[in-house]
Structure 1
Amino acid sequence: MTDNNGALAGITVLDLTRVLAGPYCTQLLGDLGADVIKIERPGAGDDTRKFAPPFVTDDAGNETTESAYFMSANRNKRSVEVDLTSEAGQDIVRQLALQADVLVENFKTGNLAKYGLGYDDLKDANPKLVYCSITGFGQTGPYAQRPGYDFLIQGMGGIMSITGEAEGEPQKVGVPIADIMSGMFAAVAINGALRHSTVTGQGQYIDIGMLDTQVAWLVNQGMNFIHSGQAERLGNAHPNIVPYQVFKSADGHIVLAIGNDNQFRTFCDFAGAPELPDDPMFATNDARVKNRTETVAKIQAIIEQHPSQYWLDELEKMKIGCGPINTLDQVFADPHVLAREMV
Structure 2
Amino acid sequence: MSGALADLKVLDLSRVLAGPWAGQMLADLGADVVKVERPEVGDDTRAWGPPYLQDADGRDTSEAAYFLSANRNKRSITIDFTQPEGQRRVRELVAKADVLIENFKVGGLAAYGLDYASLQQLNPRLIYCSVTGFGQDGPYAKRAGYDFMIQAMGGLMSITGRADNEEGAGPVKVGVALTDILTGLYASNAILAALAERARSGQGQHIDLALLDVQVACLGNQALNYLTTGKPPRRLGNAHPNIVPYQDFPTADGDFILTVGNDGQFRRFCEVAGHSEWASDARFASNAQRVAHREQLIPLIRQATVFRTTAQWIAELEQAGVPCGPINDLSQVFDDAQIKARGVQISLPHALSGGVKLVANPIRLSRTPVEYRSAPPLLGQHNAEVIADWLGTQAAG
Settle same-fold status: TM greater than 0.5. Answer: yes
Structure possessing the higher relative contact order (Cα contacts under 8 Å, 6 or more residues apart): 2
RMSD between superposed Cα atoms in Å: 1.0
Secondary structure at 2:10 match in 1: strand
Is 2:114 the partner of 1:86?
no
2:159 to 154, 159, 162: 162
Q: Distance in 1 between matches of 2:13 and 2:110?
A: 13
Q: Indicate if the aligned counterparts of 2:162 and 2:237 stay in contact, CA closer than 8 A.
A: yes
Secondary structure at 2:122 match in 1: coil
- The residue number in structure 2 matching 1:291 is 293
Q: Write the letter of the residue equivalent to 2:343.
A: E
Secondary structure at 2:35 match in 1: strand
User: Percent identical across equivalent pairs?
Assistant: 54
Q: TM-score, normalised by structure 1?
A: 0.97
Q: How far did residue 63 of structure 1 move? A: 2.8
Q: How far did residue 338 of structure 1 move? A: 1.4
Secondary structure at 1:170 match in 2: coil
1:321 to 309, 320, 323: 323
- The residue number in structure 2 matching 1:258 is 260
2:92 to 91, 95, 98: 95
Q: How far did residue 59 of structure 1 move? A: 4.9
Distance change in 2, residues 1:58/1:334 (3 Å): farther
Is 2:118 the partner of 1:121?
yes
Q: Could you report, residue by residue, the CA deviation over 1:95-119 in whole angstroms, capped at 9, with x for unpaired residues? A: 1111100000000001111111111
After TM superposition, the structure 1 = structure 2 runs for residues 54-93 of structure 1, keeping only pairs within 5 Å, are 54-59=51-56, 61-93=58-90
- How many positions carry a matched residue from both structures? 340
Q: Distance in 1 between matches of 2:23 and 2:7?
A: 15
After TM superposition, the structure 1 = structure 2 runs for residues 42-61 of structure 1, keeping only pairs within 5 Å, are 42-59=39-56, 61=58
Distance change in 2, residues 1:314/1:59 (3 Å): farther
Q: Could you report, residue by residue, the CA deviation over 1:66-98 in whole angstroms, capped at 9, with x for unpaired residues? A: 110100011110000100100000011111111
List runs of 5+ in structure 2 lacking aligned partners: 346-397
- The residue number in structure 2 matching 1:16 is 13
Q: Write the letter of the residue equivalent to 1:45.
A: G
Q: Write the letter of the residue equivalent to 1:275.
A: E
- List, as ranges, runs of 4+ consecutive aligned residues in structure 1 with deviation greater than 6 Å: none
Is 2:300 the partner of 1:282?
no
Q: How far did residue 199 of structure 1 move? A: 1.9
Q: Distance in 2 between matches of 1:60 and 1:239?
A: 50
Q: Could you report, residue by residue, the CA deviation over 1:113-148 in whole angstroms, capped at 9, with x for unpaired residues? A: 111111111213312111100000000000000000
After TM superposition, the structure 1 = structure 2 runs for residues 2-13 of structure 1, keeping only pairs within 5 Å, are 4-13=1-10
Secondary structure at 2:50 match in 1: coil
Q: Distance in 2 between matches of 1:62 and 1:197?
A: 48
After TM superposition, the structure 1 = structure 2 runs for residues 220-239 of structure 1, keeping only pairs within 5 Å, are 220-230=221-231, 231-239=233-241
Q: How far did residue 229 of structure 1 move? A: 2.1
Q: Distance in 2 between matches of 1:319 and 1:277?
A: 16
Q: How far did residue 61 of structure 1 move? A: 4.2
Q: Indicate if the aligned counterparts of 2:272 and 2:320 stay in contact, CA closer than 8 A.
A: no
Q: Distance in 1 between matches of 2:271 and 2:320?
A: 11
